[in-house]
């Protein structure tokens, strides 16, 4: 039986690795999801066999309850709420790890020191990730203010709270029989998770979600050491490392450091001294926008979170089809932090069946903007703002952007810019009505 379980774990680990590899591309992402699901099913089966758990009534009940909750969430959840659902998943996974660690401690507090170290790491990361993920979900859902919630000496208080929780954890490791300390330790970890996230603004949520994913994975990895489960160690390490790498990519995309994201309170309302400069804005009607697109030979569409809010992805697909029929070369420029979670725009456009080979990352598409006739920005702002390159007083100065200002018809106050005011879905629908290609198709 032991050999069979080891073989199951090896195959499961390979499927987890392949899952991460395949999910790196939209073209193979679905295959990656299936590989991860099969790998997890095999890992659970192997664990049940290893511990000779044959009381299937409870296992089946848990499976049915989870399925009954998961399927409706998957089908009912709108694309705009996927970041919230992701944060909720982190919260549930982290809480499960923390509760397992708590149960293991109270089952037998006198364990080898390395097990107690892993147990403290597991519960500390699990509890703070649980409340932190709930706070992130609240901000994304706008139940909590998206702006940073700050107070004097906040970073000092937060770091002091974490240090106190860590000190209690060390005390538990050294004197595990003083069991009255564990509830205080857990409460401090839960409180720290709240205080860690509330000073972070909504614009930083993509990085925060990736970081919370890393914390949850590391908590699961530590749980593997506590339970002596090799598969948990592997799965948790993969989850934790991939989340950390993704966080680094997000920070690089914003030209920010981890410390600045976590403790910089980015997004606070800034008071500007002196008069506010009034600059002219050229607005355009759907008819004018359609004529500009009709005359173009190349168009780069830049989607943002506003597109997701307006649920305009299917109208964008119709616009893509209409322009393509006219022989226009249409591409999509995707910024790494566009939307509210990593890969949000890729998922959104994939839902509308926009061809994968039309989606380009920032570094690949920026060189094409000077040869582009029209850059159509829909629901994006910071990720295309030229102030990031020119205005040293701007809070986003230094952030790499999609260089739409280099296109022949770019954005904002430039002389060659047209601003299209209105709901993204409704406005794209009006543009479609004015395009001859769309009229002919109808």
DSSP states along 338-384: -SSSTTHHHHHHHHTT--GGGEEEHHHHGGGGGG-SEEEEES--GGG
- The count of other CB atoms within 10 Å of the CB of residue 30 is 12
In this prediction, residue 172 has a pLDDT band, given cuts at 50, 70 and 90, of: very high
Cα–Cα dist 101/221, whole Å: 12
Angle, CA 30 vertex, CA 25 and CA 34 arms, to 5°: 125
21-79 pLDDT per residue, tens: 998 877 788 899 999 999 999 998 888 888 777 677 888 888 899 889 888 888 887 77
Is there a contact between 371 and 264 (Cβ–Cβ < 8 Å)? no
Angle, CA 387 vertex, CA 383 and CA 393 arms, to 5°: 120
Cα–Cα dist 388/138, whole Å: 29
DSSP 283: B
Distances (CA, A) of 370 to 293, 294, 406, 414: 16, 19, 5, 15
Is there a contact between 307 and 348 (Cβ–Cβ < 8 Å)? yes
Residue with tokens 């790998």, as numbered in its chain: 39
364-380 pLDDT per residue, tens: 999 999 999 988 888 88
Mean pLDDT, rounded, of the chain: 84
Sign of CA dihedral 6, 38, 236, 194: negative
Mean pLDDT of 284-288: 77
- What pLDDT is recorded for position 414? 54
Bridge partners of residue 334, in order along the sequence:
361
303-315 pLDDT per residue, tens: 988 888 788 888 9
Answer yes or no: is pLDDT of 412 > 50.
Answer: no
- What pLDDT is recorded for position 442? 44
pTM of structure:
0.79
DSSP 78: -
67-114 pLDDT per residue, tens: 898 888 888 877 777 888 888 888 999 999 999 999 999 999 988 999
Looking at per-residue confidence, does 263 or 142 come out higher?
142
Q: Could you say which of 353, 382, 405, 423 is catalytic?
A: 382
User: For the chain, first and last CA: distance in Å?
Assistant: 64
382 is catalytic: yes
DSSP 421: -
Distances (CA, A) of 259 to 131, 234, 243, 255, 385: 20, 28, 17, 12, 24
- What pLDDT is recorded for position 278? 55
């Amino acid at each position: 039986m032991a050999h069979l379980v080891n073989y199951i774990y090896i195959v499961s680990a390979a499927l987890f690795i392949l899952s991460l590899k395949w999910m790196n591309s939209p073209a193979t992402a679905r295959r990656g999801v299936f590989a991860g699901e099969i790998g997890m099913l095999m890992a659970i089966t192997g664990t049940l066999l290893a511990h000779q758990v044959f009381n299937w009534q409870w296992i089946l009940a848990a499976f049915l309850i989870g399925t009954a909750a998961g399927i409706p969430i998957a089908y009912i959840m709108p694309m705009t709420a996927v970041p919230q659902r992701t944060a909720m998943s982190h919260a549930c996974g982290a809480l499960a790890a923390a509760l397992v660690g708590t149960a293991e401690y109270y089952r037998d507090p006198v364990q080898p020191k390395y097990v107690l170290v892993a147990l403290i790491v597991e519960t500390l990361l699990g509890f703070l990730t649980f409340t932190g993920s709930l706070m992130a979900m609240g901000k994304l859902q706008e139940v909590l203010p998206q702006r940073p919630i700050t107070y004097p000496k906040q970073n000092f208080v937060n770091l002091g709270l974490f240090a106190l929780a860590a000190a209690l954890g060390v005390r538990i490791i050294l004197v595990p029989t003083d069991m009255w300390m564990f509830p205080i330790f857990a409460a401090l970890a839960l409180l720290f998770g709240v205080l860690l996230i509330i000073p972070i603004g909504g614009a930083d949520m993509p990085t925060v979600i990736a970081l919370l994913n890393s914390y949850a994975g590391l908590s699961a990895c530590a749980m593997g050491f506590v339970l002596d489960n090799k598969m948990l160690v592997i799965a948790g390490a993969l989850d934790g490392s991939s989340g950390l790498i993704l966080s680094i990519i997000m920070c690089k995309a914003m030209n920010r450091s981890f410390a600045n994201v976590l403790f910089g309170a980015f997004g606070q309302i800034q008071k500007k001294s002196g008069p506010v400069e009034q600059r002219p804005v050229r607005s355009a009607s759907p008819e004018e926008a359609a004529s500009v697109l009709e005359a173009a030979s190349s168009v780069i569409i830049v989607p943002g979170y506003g597109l997701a809010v307006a649920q305009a992805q299917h109208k964008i697909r119709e616009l893509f089809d209409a322009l393509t029929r006219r022989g226009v070369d249409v591409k999509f420029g995707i910024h790494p932090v566009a939307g509210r979670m990593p890969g949000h725009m890729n998922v959104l456009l994939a839902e509308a069946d926009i061809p994968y080979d039309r989606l380009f990352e920032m570094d690949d598409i920026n060189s094409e903007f000077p040869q582009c006739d029209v850059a159509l920005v829909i629901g994006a702002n910071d990720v295309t703002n030229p102030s990031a390159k020119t205005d040293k007083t701007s809070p986003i100065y230094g952030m790499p952007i999609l260089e739409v200002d280099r296109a022949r018809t770019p954005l904002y106050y430039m002389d060659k810019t047209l601003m299209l005011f209105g709901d993204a879905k409704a406005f794209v629908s009006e543009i479609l009505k004015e395009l001859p290609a769309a009229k002919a198709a109808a």
